[in-house]
Structure 1
Amino acid sequence: MRKYEAMFIFTPELEEEKRNSVFDKMKGIIESNGSIEDIDEWGMRKLAYEINDYKEGYYIVVNFESEKEVIDEMERVSRITDEIIRHMVIKDEQ
Structure 2
Amino acid sequence: MKNIQVIDGADNFVYDIFAATEEEFALIFPEGQDVAFIDEVITHGSERELDEAFTRIWKRRIPKRDAMGIHGILFYELAPKKQYYPTRRDEEAINPDGTRLR
Tell me the TM-score normalised to structure 1 length. Answer: 0.29
Which protein is richer in strand relative to its size?
Answer: 1
Name the larger-Rg structure: 2
Which protein is richer in helix relative to its size?
Answer: 2
Select the structure with the greater relative contact order (CA < 8 A; seq sep ≥ 6): 1
Tell me the TM-score normalised to structure 2 length. Answer: 0.27
